[in-house]
Structure 1
Amino acid sequence: MILDTAIETKDLLPALERFWKVSAQKIELINNEYDDSQGSPVFTIEGKYSTRGWTEWTQGFQYGSEILQFDATGDTSFLEMGKRNTVEKMAPHVTHFGVHDHGFNNVSTYGNLLRLMNEGRIPESEWERNFYVMALQASSAVQAKRWTSIPSGGYIYSFNGPHSLFADTIRSLRALAIGHQLGHSIMGEHDRKTSLLERLVQHAKATAEFAVYYGEGRDFYDVWGRTAHESIFNLNDGNYRCPNSQQGFSPFTTWTRGLAWIMVGAPEQLEFLKTVDDTELEPLGGRDTIEAMLLKMTTATCDFYIENTPTDGIPYWDTGALNSHKLGEDVYERESEPFNDAEPVDSSAAAIGAQGLLRLGRYLNEPRYTQAGLTVMKTLLSDKYLSRDKSHQGLILHSVYHRPNGWDHIPDGQSVPCGESCMWGDYHARETALYIQRLANDEPYYKFYL
């Protein structure tokens, strides 16, 4: 990347104003045109949202977007949409034992609504507050119960099964953090109580140890910040076996959306830990050790992103995919090219990763990461990536869902997927836009925790 060292958060306010107008139009278009009976909207085909996936992991992003739209603009019609849809449609996600996505679905809906009430942005209501609290407490325990123990601790296992640790899941630690703050825990046989904070720390530690590389000779391809999408364990003895990738090109290349999930999930937890008393962290290894682990993971992944991304901040979907060599040795010395004939870019990884860069920059008071995050968002807010076609339901163009499975739409005349959007990319673009807007306007800091 080439960082724009002059740009400040306030410089993006005009682009953000346009962004939220486009965002409102997209939300209304989906509500008017999308058939809910087919399942949650996942990604667009020829500009229309369709559903295809392993689990219903995107519905919280759909309704969470309505809540963020209100948050950013004050338009209460979007608040009412988000409230109604959360109440009517999100309950199955609260007790969904089959997924690792509780931090996606439930914190984006119930969590955002509780946050707005805590901020005084929506009226205080005892029954509403209790409703959101109960949903978040239940979600936190359900997510933390999806657990595999290993010699060094354990992890929340992915929907692939108990042997599988996904990079993505570090962002579902949001659910455990809120549950812990709400005084909740997991209750097992004989009323055995398990700490949500303990499981949060142990999962973060497993992610840092097995999903992220630090250039310390772990394997032949070990470089600072490289990330494996999936880590595989032997369930007979709990020992780590190998890296793997479900949606990336290979176990030994970096799928950039998996990288981005860690980039944003880890610094959020660093921020959250500031609210936790030292006495609670001492039995889990102590504050210094835990924060050092999270900071190393965050810094490594953010550094890798900066070093392995085109100049405008939008990465290709995988840093070592089959046809990457066709992009040329100078691929990271020029702007991203969505309409190339070799490998697709992934704007959703950019939308997710930008927030991580910004949070790390603020945490460390380090301009390099802040400027990197603003550079990414400047590009996403431009006509190159913002979907201005009023008939296109997507907000941010040129995302990729599952390249190996061939699920992404390739337009006529093109060689790789391009021109389409996804629900998680659109949601996280909104989250990052709100984050920047609040900083620029000296408004309350945007955070997931209480």
Structure 2
Amino acid sequence: MKRPLLLLLIAVAISGCTEKPVAKKSLSLIDRAAAQYDSLYTSIAPFKEDKKPIPRTTKDGKLVRVGAYDWTSGFYPGTLWNLYGLTKDNMWKTRAEEYTLKLDTIQYWEGNHDVGFIMECSYGNALKYMDSPTYDSVIVRTAKSLSARFHPKAGILQSWDWSKKWECPVIIDNMMNLELLFHATRISGDSTYYNIAVSHADTTIKNHYRKDFSSYHVVDYDTITGDILQKNTHQGLSDDSAWARGQAWGLYGYTMSYRETGHTRYLEQALKIADFIMYHPNLPEDKIPYWDYNAPAADSTPRDASAAAITASALYELSTFEGNKKAESHVKFADQIMQSLGSPAYFAKPGTNGDFLLMHSVGSKPHNVEVDVPLNYADYYFLEAMLRSNKQK
């Protein structure tokens, strides 16, 4: 009589110790991003003192690194700052400072408009998280270097020096460099930088934009008379097309310009550019544009995740402004972009994609350069969009 009871007690004990398998909790997108960038940081560690320490993209499956004077050099430290903002882990702050300081000499460089990209993404982001008179002085000194490219008669900052095709080319990308000038005036109190930025923004509205609020890529100026010599593309499908990343640069640039100045003309411009992007008939269902809005709508046409990430980040900020009656639709559209970019269709698996986050970006399709690859600036704006979205929740 005792044996069956003993067996019953053993059976109950065994069943009590046997648990159903618990599903492994999936990592958040932030955790996944941090893990991949931790792996990327480790993989480039041997090249820290190299002349090309900054990861930019991949080519034929291999990591491509660049030096401080590459226009994308600020995005990697900027991404590390974004990871610090998202995680509050001091490890990312330490790493971000390490790579920010590698760009120190850029503050004296007058040979390129992209110093705004480089230094605002690195030193500018650093100043969001720490007080540093040294970093303040770097921003102001860089703004002085950038201002050397201003042509008063034309009212613009010259973009490139290297082409024989144009006399004084100004690209829509240059709107992004104005943030550095606005920042320098806030630090120094010197309105020179602010006035240059406003002049450039106003002239760009006048000359870069078409009636449908799409933008030309390149406008060439006569620096003596200020006259327009020609309007072209360099990275778009054609002179009259709407290069996808260019439209995103414009949206972001005028959203930022309104934040810095309060001039309603910039808000109105940003709202109209947003409409062009959001309601374009050639926009794919997942909201990730083809590399040019006028490119064929086909499975074989490359998408540009970088343009989508820039757009999402800009729309999150645009939605915060008073007077924006379309704020709800802007947030919804940005959320749709981010949902797509965070999906397996665009967000890379660990150990792939050179440890970059996003797949399927395009650098310059006409030149067959960086087509359907990861790009460090796509990751930068993707994480910035996450930061901006999180602050609104």
Taking structure 1 as the reference length, the TM-score comes to 0.74
Matches within 5 A, 1:323-342: 324=296, 327=298, 340-341=299-300
CA–CA separation in structure 2 for the residues paired with 1:159 and 1:42: 21
Q: 1:304–1:105: structure 2 CA closer, same or farther, 3 Å change rule?
A: same
Provide Cα deviations, 1:181-238, integer angstroms capped at 9, x if missing partner.
Answer: 01254xxxxxxxx71111011010111111122x2xxxxxxxx121111111123422
RMSD of aligned alpha carbons: 2.2
Following TM superposition, by how much is the alpha carbon of 1:362 offset from its aligned partner in structure 2, in angstroms? 2.2
* Structure-1 residue corresponding to 2:291: 317
Instruction: Show structure 2 runs of 5+ residues with no match.
Output: 1-24
| 2:342 partner letter | L
* Structure-1 residue corresponding to 2:29: 19
* Structure-2 residue corresponding to 1:113: 126
CA–CA separation in structure 2 for the residues paired with 1:211 and 1:438: 33
CA–CA separation in structure 1 for the residues paired with 2:311 and 2:61: 24
| 1:345 partner letter | R
Does the Cα contact within 8 Å between 1:226 and 1:254 map onto a contact in 2?
Answer: yes
Selected match of 1:168 from 170, 173, 176: 173
Following TM superposition, by how much is the alpha carbon of 1:80 offset from its aligned partner in structure 2, in angstroms? 0.4
Matches within 5 A, 1:6-405: 18-34=28-44, 35=47, 37=50, 39=52, 40-51=54-65, 56-87=70-101, 89-117=102-130, 129-150=132-153, 154-160=155-161, 163-185=168-190, 195-213=192-210, 215=211, 224-274=212-262, 291-308=263-280, 309-321=283-295, 324=296, 327=298, 340-341=299-300, 343-363=301-321, 364-366=324-326, 367-392=328-353, 393-405=355-367
Following TM superposition, by how much is the alpha carbon of 1:387 offset from its aligned partner in structure 2, in angstroms? 1.0
| 1:407 partner letter | V
CA–CA separation in structure 1 for the residues paired with 2:68 and 2:225: 28
Following TM superposition, by how much is the alpha carbon of 1:146 offset from its aligned partner in structure 2, in angstroms? 1.1
Following TM superposition, by how much is the alpha carbon of 1:104 offset from its aligned partner in structure 2, in angstroms? 1.5
CA–CA separation in structure 2 for the residues paired with 1:401 and 1:261: 14
Q: 1:168–1:51: structure 2 CA closer, same or farther, 3 Å change rule?
A: same
How many residues are paired up? 355
CA–CA separation in structure 1 for the residues paired with 2:68 and 2:104: 19
Instruction: Show structure 1 runs of 5+ residues with no match.
Output: 1-13, 119-128, 186-193, 216-223, 275-290, 328-339, 409-416, 441-450
Q: Secondary structure at the match of 2:379?
A: helix
CA–CA separation in structure 1 for the residues paired with 2:142 and 2:51: 25
CA–CA separation in structure 1 for the residues paired with 2:265 and 2:374: 34
Larger Rg: 2
Identity between Structure 1 and Structure 2 (%): 23
Taking structure 2 as the reference length, the TM-score comes to 0.84
Following TM superposition, by how much is the alpha carbon of 1:54 offset from its aligned partner in structure 2, in angstroms? 12
CA–CA separation in structure 1 for the residues paired with 2:265 and 2:62: 42
CA–CA separation in structure 2 for the residues paired with 1:70 and 1:357: 22
* Structure-1 residue corresponding to 2:18: none
Q: Secondary structure at the match of 2:152?
A: strand
Following TM superposition, by how much is the alpha carbon of 1:245 offset from its aligned partner in structure 2, in angstroms? 1.2
Following TM superposition, by how much is the alpha carbon of 1:48 offset from its aligned partner in structure 2, in angstroms? 3.7
Following TM superposition, by how much is the alpha carbon of 1:252 offset from its aligned partner in structure 2, in angstroms? 0.4
Provide Cα deviations, 1:16-57, integer angstroms capped at 9, x if missing partner.
Answer: x72222222232222222345363432222444314799511
CA–CA separation in structure 1 for the residues paired with 2:159 and 2:205: 16
Following TM superposition, by how much is the alpha carbon of 1:403 offset from its aligned partner in structure 2, in angstroms? 0.9
Q: 1:296–1:78: structure 2 CA closer, same or farther, 3 Å change rule?
A: same
Provide Cα deviations, 1:305-339, integer angstroms capped at 9, x if missing partner.
Answer: 11222122100001223xx16x2xxxxxxxxxxxx
* Structure-1 residue corresponding to 2:391: 438
Does the Cα contact within 8 Å between 1:43 and 1:401 map onto a contact in 2?
Answer: no
Q: Which has the higher contact order (CA 8 A, sep 6+)?
A: 1
